[in-house]
Amino acid sequence: MGHGGNVIVELTTDHREVDSLFAQIEAQPVGAKQRRELADDLTVELVRHSVAEEEYLYPAVRRYVDGGDDLADKELEDHAGVERLLKDLEGREADDDQFNHLIAKLKLEVSAHVRDEENRLFPLLEAACTPEALDELGDKIRKAKKTAPTRPHPAAPTTPPANKIVATGTGLVDRARDLLTGRNH
């Protein structure tokens, strides 16, 4: 969840962890209970990552990168699509007919989003910011992931300041639900 380094290193490491979780899900037999547990792990990672990006990365892109508003808006649209898929996946067991379809669709959407961030957005941000600003953003991202929600909330606000206010409370509620249901994260 927190890796250290500047914002680009932090988020790229998250991306590799998500890739690994998809690979672990795919390595399990269809219908295996472990697929559901790994999908829960994947959900937690994606939600925390997305919330942190929405709180700090995209406002920085809007502020520092030429054309940043359009870039940030596109990334937020990607997040909304992923969040809806995660919400649909949330209540399904691994032997549900739609489970595998949703995992495959989620992987396609997340992979496209990751490629876009790593190949387009991150280089633009790196060129526009000082190393100190990138380090500071990395610290903010790590802190945000610690208190972020662990479950999808597609109707939650995605832009400051409302997203920061709602995410903290929602994160507390999600962690309480996780504790009560035995979903350890």
158 φ/ψ angles, rounded to the nearest 5 degrees: -115, 5
**What's the pLDDT tens digit per position in 70-129?**
999 999 999 999 999 999 999 899 999 899 999 999 999 999 999 999 999 999 999 999
Reply yes or no: is the peptide bond before residue 131 cis, omega within 30 of 0: no
In CATH, what number is assigned to the domain containing residue 171? 1.20.120
Indicate whether 44 pLDDT > 60.
Answer: yes
Owning domain of residue 35: 7-181
Q: Is residue 159, in this structure, part of any structural domain at all?
A: yes
Question: CA 104, CA 127: separation in Å to the nearest integer?
Answer: 34
* 121, 12 contact by CB (below 8 A): no
In the predicted model, what is the mean pLDDT of residues 149-176?
50
**What's the pLDDT tens digit per position in 117-150?**
999 999 999 999 999 999 999 999 999 998 877 7
Domains of the chain: total = 1
DSSP structural state of residue 97: T
Q: Is residue 1, in this structure, part of any structural domain at all?
A: no
